[in-house]
A and B are shown apart, each in its own frame.
Chain A
Amino acid sequence: EAGVTQFPSHSVIEKGQTVTLRCDPISGHDNLYWYRRVMGKEIKFLLHFVKESKQDESGMPNNRFLAERTGGTYSTLKVQPAELEDSGVYFCASSPVREGPITQYFGPGTRLTVL
């Protein structure tokens, strides 16, 4: 079974440009999450999809960030326009929908550098 995949693995852009990150969850996982780790800090929650619906987007830093999950499969996270403080590693995770302490399965992350 394939794990969570993310593309690209690295992205270097200039301030003011736009970047789109993609996440493909594990097949059959309706829950999809985005997290971000700024260098040296903790991994922080950004938002949570259940299928194509945003369940919780309380962690999104501002309106320069737009997440979508059309069709309830893969998800994209767009940053427009990018700022220096957006640099970090963006992780995607997925999990099935069921009761109990569900494990989230993480992808390898996308390292974003904004110059």
Chain B
Amino acid sequence: AQSVTQLGSHVSVSEGALVLLRCNYSSSVPPYLFWYVQYPNQGLQLLLKYTSAATLVKGINGFEAEFKKSETSFHLTKPSAHMSDAAEYFCAVRNESTGNQFYFGTGTSLTVIP
């Protein structure tokens, strides 16, 4: 069975501080992993994805994530938070056995404190 766990439904960071959003997955076969972001009143936007190439994946807006198979993790980071990063972030997994279905985590709401 596939599943995603996002630790921390709410995360607050100061502007300029490191952003770390955690994602652990469960997958019986090699996964494809995704981070999506939802800004207020907008749809889900793809931040980055892991597709079995490089384990360190760089995305838009300065975000990156590292796939660690031994830890079954795909944590999202950004060195310096900006006010515009305030949004809800979703980690998702799919693999060949799930077909086209994505399995999402419960989401993490990021607040950036000025």
CB within 8 Å: A-B pair count:
62
A residues contacting the other copy or chain, number (CB 8 A): 29
Cβ of B41 under 8 Å from chain A:
yes
Chain A neighbourhood of B99, CB < 8 A: 48, 55-56
Stretch at the interface among B65-73, B78-86, B102-110: B102-110
Looking across the interface, which residue of chain B has its beta carbon closest to that of A97? B100
* B44 contacts A106, C-beta separation under 8 Å: yes
Given A44-B104, A45-B102, residue A101 in contact with residue B32 (CB < 8 A):
yes
Chain B neighbourhood of A106, CB < 8 A: 36, 43-45
Cβ of A79 under 8 Å from chain B:
no
Stretch at the interface among A13-21, A35-43, A66-74: A35-43
B residues contacting the other copy or chain, number (CB 8 A): 26
Q: For the complex, what is the distance from the CA of A91 to the CA of B42, rounded to whole Å?
A: 11
Q: For the complex, what is the distance from the CA of A104 to the CA of B24, rounded to whole Å?
A: 20
* A42 contacts B100, C-beta separation under 8 Å: no
Chain B neighbourhood of A87, CB < 8 A: none
Chain A contact residues, CB within 8 Å of chain B: 3-4, 31, 33, 35, 40-45, 48, 55-56, 58-59, 91, 93, 95, 100-109
Q: Could you list 6 A-B pairs, sorted by A, with CB under 8 Å?
A: A42-B105, A45-B101, A101-B94, A103-B49, A104-B100, A107-B43
Chain B contact residues, CB within 8 Å of chain A: 4, 9, 32, 34, 36, 41-46, 49, 51-52, 90, 92, 94, 99-107
Given contacts A33-B101, A40-B9, A58-B101, 20 further A-B contacts (CB under 8 A): A33-B100, A35-B104, A42-B104, A42-B105, A42-B106, A43-B107, A45-B101, A45-B102, A45-B103, A48-B101, A56-B100, A95-B100, A100-B51, A101-B49, A101-B94, A102-B100, A106-B36, A106-B43, A106-B45, A108-B41
